[in-house]
């Protein structure tokens, strides 16, 4: 793929959202370019080698100058010493470069320069240790620069001796057959045997040639001059990292390498490549680009590539689906993984999680929507496979209608042990303290199985019986989840006394009312039992649950002074509440008692969606579109296309970036914790589930932890079902 195609994708990633309005649907799922990280392996015997410079020749072979000789790339993303030419294998070049135009590799040794092209006929003998830098133009002119002097050769013949500019060399360049000399204070070009100064500056570090323009990097940003030295684009230090080590112009875009990663200038801003997601370390000492537009970043310890590949959303979904099935299923639960040994990918382990049911609802939901779209029997099979885990949460213990958080074989519990209890089957333990988060998962999986998968009377009854048991337990216990100790769990509470104890400025009041009415509606539609309908209207009319549900999101704000069992609430925003609300909205709307309520629900969903738009979450957009009819289409595609197939939870940092506009952290003025005015791409942020703030820009759990990918699969298959993409 040529680099010219990449800009379309990168521009899309950085484009500002086009919010709700008339859109043309469906969008055709066409291939788009996506950046992929490749880290080259280095043989352990070379672990102490020091890297200096990287070049890509005309055949897209990669060569690295080191203190141990010349290294190059080999199949399998391996770098090792270049032993192809026995006459050169034991020699250490002082410098290497590629010839302008041909891409031929040239070597500079202490006593000669040469190339293996032209049948090896070019070889110029030199005074030993006099020259340390070289450049070659398309006319076969070879420029050599040393500490005190320079020289130009044509093939093997010395053409002329050169003096040097008075200020020391930073780097030598060749562009349009002309040689250029960069110092910390000036830019020169070679006019026959004289260096002509065209530009004076301060703290200059790098140059990049782009047609008739030259971008000039400094220790504090960059600016652009024309070839006469006149400034044509003013100084810009609003960069991710202003201190620039190396620059390149690739297909008209400026790339920058720094001590804190690399970035590329796009029409809408900068794409930033840093952290273990992209680099073995952030300090970049050199970079190169091949003819396909792939970038190579050389650090003191390794070689890293960012290559651009074409893929469709369907291809990404197939990859993530296959990966999840192979590596992330635990008893039917969709489970994030960790490496017991962070350095060994074969030590992958699946551990229990407090929210196994909730996380699995994303995977099960994706397969339900997949079945609705494709009618593939495998998708249906996968739904019932995971539903068995939900059913077992009800039966692994003796408490009628109470759903455990999760279960595990005796002796293999990974999490905290206090909430765990032995099951009647001595081979198993189960975990209590079940919360509203888990209840939301039960709501969602029940509804989508009922809507899209359960077809026979037996299947319908199976789903109805499951949810009927849960709701019977809740009603029988005064709208609480009652644990093994006979007491309500910490968060499994829908009782009016609890719900209405929250101020109208706290989202818990709106959310818990919504969960209650949604559960009663769903249970009524599944079973036809009148108690569920009468209870729903009693809650709405006598206890104000409908009014609570309609509390405007703009009314939710910093609310001090509220504690629940010693836990301070109301003073920050819990983004898992957004997750719970939007999953519930699908069920609330589609199982409404009547059309009047449906219209009320659509208004409250739209109200919440409006305040969520800056987070550009595809799932919230699609859940809104499938209920209230609202969608930010551009952000939906931006999310889906930008979701990385590599789901390792890299530790990343963005708070140092100078290109971002930050918002105040004060909870009273920025209650939803939006750190920046605009959201940066997902591949630049810590990779989190849907219950986290999309504006978290620093953090992560490390390369030893990996998400399942259902964070993508559910919105993808919803988009297919809703005919947003095709």
State residue 14's pLDDT score. 35
Tell me how crowded residue 226 is: count the other CB atoms within 10 A of its CB: 15
- Cβ distance 589 to 602 under 8 Å? yes
Mean pLDDT of the chain: 95
Distances (CA, A) of 112 to 126, 159, 172, 423: 5, 15, 18, 79
Residues 485-497, mean pLDDT to the nearest whole number: 97
- Is the confidence at residue 638, as pLDDT, over 60? yes
State residue 384's pLDDT score. 98
* Max intra-chain CA distance, the chain: 100
Residues 269-275, mean pLDDT to the nearest whole number: 96
Distance CA(450)–CA(458), nearest Å, equals 12
Instruction: Estimate the share of the chain in helix, then strand, then coil, as percent rounded to the nearest 5.
Output: 30, 30, 40
* Sheet architecture: strand order including 186-191: 169-175, 178-183, 186-191, 194-200
Distance CA(369)–CA(379), nearest Å, equals 9
Percent of the chain with pLDDT over 70: 97
Per residue in 43-78, pLDDT (tens digit) is 888 989 999 999 999 999 999 999 999 999 999 999
Q: Which has the closest alpha carbon to 144: 93, 206, 92? A: 93
- Is the confidence at residue 328, as pLDDT, over 50? yes
- Is the confidence at residue 8, as pLDDT, over 50? no
Distance CA(349)–CA(340), nearest Å, equals 7
pTM: 0.93
- Cβ distance 277 to 311 under 8 Å? no
């Amino acid at each position: 793929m040529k680099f010219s195609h990449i800009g379309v994708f990168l521009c899309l990633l950085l484009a500002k959202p086009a919010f709700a309005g008339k859109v043309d649907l469906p969008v055709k799922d066409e291939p788009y370019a996506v950046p992929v990280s490749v880290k080259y392996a280095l043989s352990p015997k070379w672990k102490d080698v020091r890297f200096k410079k990287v070049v890509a020749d005309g055949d897209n072979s990669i060569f690295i100058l080191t203190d141990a000789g010349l290294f190059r790339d080999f199949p399998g993303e391996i770098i090792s010493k270049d032993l192809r030419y026995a006459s050169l294998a034991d020699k250490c070049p002082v410098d290497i470069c590629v010839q302008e135009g041909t891409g031929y590799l040239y070597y500079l040794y202490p006593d000669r320069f040469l190339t293996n092209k032209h049948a090896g006929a070019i070889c110029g003998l030199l005074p030993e240790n006099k020259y340390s830098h070289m450049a070659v133009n398309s006319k076969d002119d070879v420029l050599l620069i040393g500490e005190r002097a320079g020289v130009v050769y044509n093939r093997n013949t010395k053409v002329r001796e050169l003096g040097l500019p008075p200020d020391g060399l930073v780097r030598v360049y060749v562009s349009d057959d002309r040689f250029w000399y960069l110092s910390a204070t000036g830019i020169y070009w070679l006019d026959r045997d004289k260096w002509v100064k065209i530009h004076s500056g301060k703290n200059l570090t790098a140059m990049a040639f782009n047609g008739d323009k030259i971008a000039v990097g400094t220790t504090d940003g960059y600016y652009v001059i024309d070839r006469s030295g006149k400034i044509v684009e003013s100084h810009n230090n609003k960069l991710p990292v202003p201190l620039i080590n190396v620059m390149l112009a690739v297909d008209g875009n400026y790339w920058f390498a720094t001590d804190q990663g690399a970035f590329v200038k796009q029409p809408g801003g900068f794409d930033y490549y840093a952290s273990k997601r992209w680099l073995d370390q952030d300090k970049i000492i050199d970079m190169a680009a091949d003819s396909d537009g792939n970038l190579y970043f050389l650090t003191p310890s390794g070689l890293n590539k960012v290559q651009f590949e074409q893929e469709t959303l369907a291809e990404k979904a197939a990859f993530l689906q296959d990966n999840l099935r192979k590596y992330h299923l635990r008893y039917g639960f969709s489970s994030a993984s960790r490496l017991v040994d962070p350095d060994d990918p074969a030590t992958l382990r699946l551990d229990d999680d407090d929210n196994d049911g909730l996380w699995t609802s994303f995977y099960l939901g994706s397969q339900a929507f997949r079945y609705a779209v494709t009618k593939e029997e495998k998708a249906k099979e996968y739904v019932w496979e995971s539903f068995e885990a939900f059913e077992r949460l009800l039966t692994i213990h003796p408490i009628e209608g109470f759903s455990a958080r999760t279960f595990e074989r005796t002796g293999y519990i990974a999490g905290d042990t206090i909430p765990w209890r032995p099951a009647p089957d001595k081979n198993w333990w189960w975990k209590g303290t079940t919360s509203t988060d888990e209840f939301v998962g039960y709501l969602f999986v029940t509804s989508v199985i009922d809507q899209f998968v359960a077809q026979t009377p037996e299947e319908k009854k199976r789903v109805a019986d499951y949810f009927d048991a849960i709701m019977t337990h809740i009603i029988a216990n005064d709208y609480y989840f009652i644990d093994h100790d006979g007491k309500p769990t910490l968060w499994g509470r829908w009782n009016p006394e609890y719900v209405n104890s929250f101020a109208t400025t706290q989202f818990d009041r709106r959310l818990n009312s919504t969960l209650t009415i949604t559960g009663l509606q769903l249970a009524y539609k599944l079973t036809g039992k009148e108690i569920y309908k009468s209870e729903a209207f009693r809650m709405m009319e006598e206890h104000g649950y409908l009014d609570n549900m309609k509390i405007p999101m703009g009314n939710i704000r910093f609310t001090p002074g509220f504690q629940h069992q010693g836990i301070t609430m109301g003073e920050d925003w819990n983004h898992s509440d957004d997750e719970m609300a939007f999953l519930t909205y699908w069920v609330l709307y589609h199982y409404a008692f009547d059309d009047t309520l449906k219209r009320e629900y659509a208004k409250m969903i739209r109200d919440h969606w409006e305040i969520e738009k800056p987070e550009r979450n595809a799932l919230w957009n699609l859940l809104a579109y499938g209920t209230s009819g609202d969608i930010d289409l551009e952000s939906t595609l931006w999310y889906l296309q930008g979701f990385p197939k590599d789901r390792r939870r890299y530790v990343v940092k963005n708070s140092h970036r100078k290109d971002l506009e930050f918002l105040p952290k004060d909870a009273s003025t920025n209650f939803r914790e939006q750190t920046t005015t605009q959201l940066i791409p997902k591949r630049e942020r810590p990779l989190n589930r849907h219950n986290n703030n999309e504006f978290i820009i620093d953090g992560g759990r490390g390369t030893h932890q990996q998400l399942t990918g259902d964070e993508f699969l559910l919105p993808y298959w919803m988009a297919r079902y809703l005919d947003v993409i095709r």
